[in-house]
Structure 1
Amino acid sequence: MSGNHPRLTGKIDPNKINRIETPRISESILQAFRDLGHCTCAVSDALDELGIPGAIPGSMLKCIIPGSHLVGLALTLRNVARQGDLNEIVRSKNNLMAEAECHNLAQTGDVLVIQGVQSASNMGGVGGRMGKRQGELGAIVDGVVRDVADFKESEYPIWSKGVTPITGKWRGQSEEINGPVTICDVLVNPGDLVVADESGVCFVPRQFVDAVLLLAQKKVRLEEDLSQKINQGWSIPDIVNPLP
């Protein structure tokens, strides 16, 4: 590795790093999504109109810090369950998890997206502090995490399937960084847009961000107009069936 690329940690075979840098969506597009506020519902509606699967309910991926929301770019990691005798693996102290390498490669505005194992932690509090320092906005984990109090203290939000005290050091191994991952049956590529809030998580493929943004903005404007009419005392029939 040369140039401005970071020095690798050595925790994963470099051949398993699909790309060093996450593809970037323009800052103007990202800011436009941020300006929509807590917008997963509007983004989900836009994805529906375009026939793109990408929305995951908050009942499946719940945020450990209530009230959190983010708009960022996917930095992906794929973990798999580790094979072998657990007692022997623990005695060997051979950790094959490479989440730290993701933090090492992270750019400001990235969101760590992990296709993880379900029976043990894919990320802990130290990782959250690394990610926060590197400029990550948070993480989305199809799997479980641990050290909830640490994530809250460092203000690093995570949307996950659950929490556990059980370490993944000996129970999982990282197979690929910045390659395609599947999160709750949704395909996510590095650099895809990630939108998350208390309603859930939406992934928007990079090639569709402009179209999704226009539809989401339209949805937000419509709801703002309807809310204003409610506050102004319009009758429900006039709100639901506006006059021409």
Structure 2
Amino acid sequence: MGGALSLTLAALAYPGMLGLQTVAGSGDRIIAQTSAGSLTEADRDFVVKVRAAGLWEYPVGQMALEKGTTKAVVTAGEHLIAGHAALDAAVRKIAPELGITIPNRPSPQQQGFVATLQADSGRQFDTDMANILRVTHGQIFNTIAKIRANTRNTLVRQLADQANDTVLDHITVMEKTGLVDMDEVLFQETSPPKLPAEDMTPPPPSPGQSEVVLTPPPTSSPEPTTG
């Protein structure tokens, strides 16, 4: 992996759905009782972060369709689009039932990912996309498992099941590009930089703003990719 990409990952790497420390740490406080079971801070945070992840990874998938220079990169883009459209539909369905307000824009740091990839072209785009997405998905994988194991809420549990399958699929298609530098990725996964909370938090929707919808692709969803 080139020096420029290493600097990009060092500057931007953080959990793909964000809020990792909050979700994995002190999120046990129950904030609501719902028909699907009690809702904790960690549950709420997880739902918000799944939504935020789609708001930046879905457009990256669209970029991959336009800018990817290999079939494997284009395929990875197709999986990002289909996977996050489906996850987003699930989030938008359960959020009102759980009383959770979801964002319409990704966090400042997630917007930084998009800006970096928008500025890339050719092989640089392919490489940056594969490695950035592999880092972020790898970081969130354990968090999804923790939510799935600990949540008392059936709707959050179902979302965690779906997110687990989607993230594993996305990890796999990134690795199948042949561009992932595993030494650098594992370093970034295990030593993310400390970031200000405001950079890691998606802004709330503006009053009266229409809800952003991540539209499913017109064709059938890509088949999940196994190892």
TM range (shorter): under 0.3
Which of the pair has more CA radius of gyration? 1
* TM-score computed with the length of structure 1 as normaliser: 0.26
* TM-score computed with the length of structure 2 as normaliser: 0.27
Give 1 or 2: higher strand fraction: 1
